[in-house]
Amino acid sequence: EIPPELIAILPAEKLKYLLVVPIELRHSGSEKILRVAMTDPTNQNLINELQFASGCRVLPVLASENEICQALKNNLPAEPLQTPEPPVENFILEQHSVDFSDLPGDDVRVDRLLEVLQEKGILSAIDVERIKFG
58 SS3 class: strand
DSSP type of residue 77: P
Inter-CA distances, 105 with 60, 102, 132, Å: 61, 9, 15
Q: Model pTM? A: 0.56
Instruction: Tell me the mean pLDDT in the region 11-32.
Output: 91
Query: pLDDT tens digit string along 73-117?
Result: 888 876 654 555 666 665 555 666 656 566 555 567 778 888 888
Predicted pLDDT of residue 85: 62
Between helices 107-119 and 125-133, what is the axis angle to 10°?
160
Domain parsing of the chain, residue ranges: 4-75, 97-134
pLDDT of residue 42: 95
- Mean of pLDDT over the chain: 82
* Cα 21 to Cα 6: distance, rounded to the nearest angstrom: 9
Instruction: Band the pLDDT of 68: cuts 50, 70, 90.
Output: very high
**Superfamily the domain 4-75 falls into:** Type II secretion system, protein E, N-terminal domain (3.30.300.160)
Handedness of CA 110, 112, 118, 121 (dihedral sign): negative
